Amino acid sequence: MYHFCNEVNQPISLVEAIKKTNEMIYKGNLVAWEMNGKLVSMAYAIRPTKRNITISYVYTPIAERKKGYASYCVSAFTQNLLDRGYKTTSLYTDISNPISNKIYIQIGYEAIMDSVHILFK
């Protein structure tokens, strides 16, 4: 969580990252992909409605990238959410990252619209 937040320009302290991670685990919608006892990718589901839930916080550490871990993680998590009764899932992605966007299309997501994140200081 610490590395994810820093990479997406929403830096938090290590203490805050641990607290946030524990809260996400407690809510039950944080998943991680593990290989040989090592966490290599994560994803989190947020904003549930009766029919839809959004996957966010998709992250793979730099050393583990280009091995397909995020693809496996998001694909399996998406199926899990559909199996839990959601009719659809949404996924927010960084439009400037063609690699992740290509991967999400390959596993069945389709681009619908762009959104804007505005931070007020």
Tally of structural domains, the chain: 1
For residue 79, give the CATH number of its domain. 3.40.630.30
H-helix or E-strand containing 30?
strand 30-35
Q: Which domain holds residue 31?
A: 2-106
Q: What is the pLDDT of residues 63-96, one digit of tens each?
A: 999 999 999 999 999 999 999 999 999 998 877 8
- The radius of gyration of the chain's CA atoms, rounded to the nearest angstrom, is 14
Residue 63 located in a structural domain: yes
In a domain, 111, yes or no: no
- Considering the domain boundaries, does residue 119 fall inside one? no
- Give the model's pLDDT for residue 113: 81
Residue 37 counted as domain residue:
yes
As a whole-number percent, the residues of the chain with pLDDT over 70 amount to: 100
Residue 36 lies in a domain: yes
Is pLDDT above 90 for 41?
Answer: yes
Q: pTM for the complete prediction?
A: 0.84
d(CA 39, CA 93): 21
Domain assignment of residue 116, yes or no: no
- Res. 98: pLDDT tops 90: no
Q: Is residue 114 part of a domain?
A: no
The pLDDT of 16-38, averaged and rounded, is 92
